[in-house]
């Protein structure tokens, strides 16, 4: 039933002017070219009545721009992580009148190539190359304007990166414990106490540990121990904690993420230990479960939404300039103070 789209020609005819004039008015350049106010109003009114909207495809062909950017990630669905990043990107894009293409590569380079091509063929103005968890990636060549989201370039690249500020997060977590009065009996769940004891390829693990060690070290506090696990799943948190409990009496646990913390809660509970009465727990990520756990988990939040926003902001800023600097933008990770940390028992 919907009648054919109204074109610029229709509009011009309805307003009794040439297509050029109509175009000038609609693109807002009527003013500077001193088109008569009378004519301008006539065109505007006709446009309103006919419901004229420029055909974006045509404009795209003509101008080479599409007011569209592509968001390609290795995985979108697992955990709500990507959801919030996309949401942030989406809102920032909307503020700029830009649409978002979305795609996922599943880590398959072949798929990635196809996806990038499909987007480039559609003349996207820019690309966001996102990763599910922070890591280094091989950046494809000949992508036009682009930013790396939650990822660092494996080899030198002039593409900017947007990543969570993990080492500052590590510092923050350590400070939470220090501020509560903890000085000993602090154990790590997910990584070993030494810098070498981290899951391979996880920049989050490495950087968080750096931050933790820095602050604790400065305060003259020694990390009592740690248990390294690779996948950071709840079961691993349980296992790590249970294992720890066989030999030690920890007063505080720094879990490298919330899933580990969930597991730790279980093991602690099984051992008849109270959180935070007997053992304080601080963690990372602020996964939704963090506020569902009992007691509610104090954790340093991954700023997914902000990361997404920042990505499009940087992308647009960069498109203005001639050449990117390969800057790394670190987005702060706020600590969510909840109920799992208390002063150590005396």
**Among positions 31, 33, 269, 328, the unique one binding DNA when judged by CB under 7 A:** 33
Print the binding letters for residues 244-283 with its own copies: x by CB under 8 A, - otherwise.
---------------x--x---x-----------------
Strands 280-285 and 126-137: unpaired
Can residue 289 be called a binding residue for its own copies (CB under 8 A)?
yes
Contact 124, 71 (CB under 8 A): no
Using rule CB under 8 A, residue 96 touches its own copies: no
Query: Could you tell which of its own copies, DNA, none binds residue 145, using a CB distance below 5 to 8 A set by kind?
Result: none
Tallying the residues shown for the chain, one arrives at: 346
Q: Is 50 in the site for its own copies (CB under 8 A)?
A: no
Cβ contact 85:303 at 8 Å = no
41 binds DNA (CB under 7 A): no
Q: Is 269 in the site for DNA (CB under 7 A)?
A: no
Binding region for its own copies (CB under 8 A) out of 117-125, 164-172, 178-186, 309-317: 117-125
Place of tokens 């070219």: 33
- If one asks whether residue 24 binds DNA (CB under 7 A), the answer comes out as yes
133 binds its own copies (CB under 8 A): no
Sign of the torsion angle spanned by Cα atoms 195, 199, 204, 205: negative
User: Helix (H, G, I), strand (E, B), or coil: what is residue 111?
Assistant: helix
- Taking contact as CB under 7 A, which single stretch among the options 20-28, 82-90, 148-156, 312-320 is the one that binds DNA? 20-28
The correct pick among 32, 38, 48, 142 for binding its own copies (CB under 8 A) is: 142
147 contacts 311 by C-beta, under 8 angstroms? yes
Residue with tokens 């054919």: 4
Question: Which pair of tokens denotes residue 6?
Answer: 């109204």
Cβ atoms of 261 and 281 within 8 Å: the answer is yes
Distance CA 297, CA 291 (A): 6
Which residues does 325 contact at the CB level (< 8 Å), separation at least 6?
158, 160
- Residue 5 found at the interface with DNA (CB under 7 A): yes
Check binding of 131 to its own copies (CB under 8 A).
no
Which of 1, 3, 28, 38 touches DNA by CB under 7 A?
38
Distance in angstroms (rounded) separating the CA atoms of residues 12 and 294: 66
At closest approach, how far in Å is the CB of 59 from DNA? 4
Nearer to DNA among residue 1 and residue 156 (C-beta): 1
Q: Which of DNA, its own copies, none sits in contact with 292, Cβ below 5 to 8 A by type?
A: its own copies
């Amino acid at each position: 039933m919907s009648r054919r789209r109204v074109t610029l020609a229709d509009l011009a005819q309805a307003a009794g002017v040439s297509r050029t004039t109509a175009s000038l008015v609609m693109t807002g350049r009527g003013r500077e070219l001193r088109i008569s106010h009378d004519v301008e109003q006539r065109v505007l009114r006709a446009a309103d009545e006919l419901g004229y909207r420029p055909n974006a495809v045509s404009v795209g062909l003509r101008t080479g721009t599409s007011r569209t950017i592509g968001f390609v990630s290795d995985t979108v669905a697992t955990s709500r992580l990507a959801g919030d990043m996309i949401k942030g990107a989406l809102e920032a894009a909307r503020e700029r009148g830009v649409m978002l293409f979305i795609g996922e590569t599943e880590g398959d380079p072949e798929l990635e190539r196809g996806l990038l091509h499909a987007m480039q063929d559609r003349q996207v103005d820019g690309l966001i190359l996102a990763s599910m968890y922070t890591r280094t990636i091989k950046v494809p060549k000949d992508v036009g304007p682009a930013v790396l989201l939650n990822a660092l370039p494996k080899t030198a690249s002039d593409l900017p990166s947007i990543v969570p500020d993990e080492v500052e997060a590590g510092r923050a977590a350590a400070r939470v414990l220090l501020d509560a009065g903890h000085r000993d009996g602090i154990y790590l769940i997910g990584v070993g106490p030494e810098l070498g004891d981290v899951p391979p390829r996880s920049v989050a693990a490495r950087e968080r540990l750096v931050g933790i060690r820095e602050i604790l070290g400065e305060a003259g506090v020694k990390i009592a121990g740690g248990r390294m696990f690779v996948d950071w799943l709840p079961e691993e948190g349980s296992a790590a904690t249970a294992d720890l409990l066989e030999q030690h009496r920890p007063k505080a646990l720094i879990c490298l993420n919330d899933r580990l913390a969930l597991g730790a809660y279980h093991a602690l509970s099984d051992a008849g230990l109270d959180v935070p009465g007997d053992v304080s727990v601080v963690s990372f990520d602020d996964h939704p479960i963090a506020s569902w756990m009992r007691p509610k988990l104090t954790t340093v939040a991954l700023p997914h939404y902000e990361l997404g926003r920042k990505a499009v902001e940087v992308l647009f800023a960069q498109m203005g300039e001639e050449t990117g600097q390969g800057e790394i933008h670190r987005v702060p990770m706020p600590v969510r103070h909840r109920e799992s940390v208390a002063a150590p028992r005396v």
